[in-house]
Structure 1
Amino acid sequence: MPSLPYPTSAKVDQVDDYHGTSVPDPYRWLENPDSDQTQAWVAAQNQVTFGYLNDIPQRQQIKERLTELWDYEKFRTPFKKGDRYFYFKNDGLQNQDVLYTLPDLEAEPQVLIDPNTFSDDGTVALSSLVISDDAQYVAYGISVSG
């Protein structure tokens, strides 16, 4: 296989001092996702990556098989807070798991938090979740794009 033409990754002269220890950070510039330089680097990397991936002859068959394998209901371990039960469920190909709650094990589950509704492309995820011991309050954090 011929080598891929990877874009050059510029190095900068960035050194941080942590309690007398010098730590080089030559790729610090990549930490700013909004900079023109980072966006150009990502675009160039994507061009190489997708150029390679799109040329894989079995790509569509692999995608179809993986979709078939991932398309099943998934449940995470249920838990109880106060008098309520909670669990996460994914119908199969949802981008994010959905949090359900129910007052007792015979009741119909209700959606409490569905992160799939937080964005059109399904990339906003729950990053943290805390439910009070009496199940009266819920606090959660989100992660945009993953």
Structure 2
Amino acid sequence: MSTPTKSGANGSGEKLELNQREIEVMAMAFMCISDVKDGVPQVDAKKLAKIGNYASADSARHIWRPIQKKLMAHASGEGDGSPFIATSTRGRGTPKKRKADGEAGEGTPTKKPRGKKASKVVPKKEEIEDYIDEELADGEA
């Protein structure tokens, strides 16, 4: 199955991108539509929480809301009317192995150790009074 490559109705070529998880949540949410108000489907969050195995209706609502905003923006004309395309969340490939300490190359930068912050030494009240007395004595002479 291939993804459509045609541009949208206005020819801008931008597509609404949904990752695999968003598509799954959207499918579950469509099974939970309870009503349609002003052309906007109302999703029953309790039912979505039950179907999607979420802890509460609030967590299901928090998962659905950003997806709903994407869809509504696309449908209201902010998008270009092009077909949906699915994006992979696994595009990062396999993680690379790290080199052992002995295998590190010459050009490999090492992390600088953090030094301790110098603590501020607050002079004692007696030392301040002695300093002031010495300065006054020097200034009067």
- Specify the TM-score bucket, using the shorter chain as the normaliser: under 0.3
Whose helix proportion is higher, 1 or 2? 2
TM-score, reference length from structure 1? 0.21
Whose strand proportion is higher, 1 or 2? 1
Which structure has more RCO (C-alpha within 8 Å, separation ≥ 6)? Answer: 2
TM-score, reference length from structure 2? 0.21
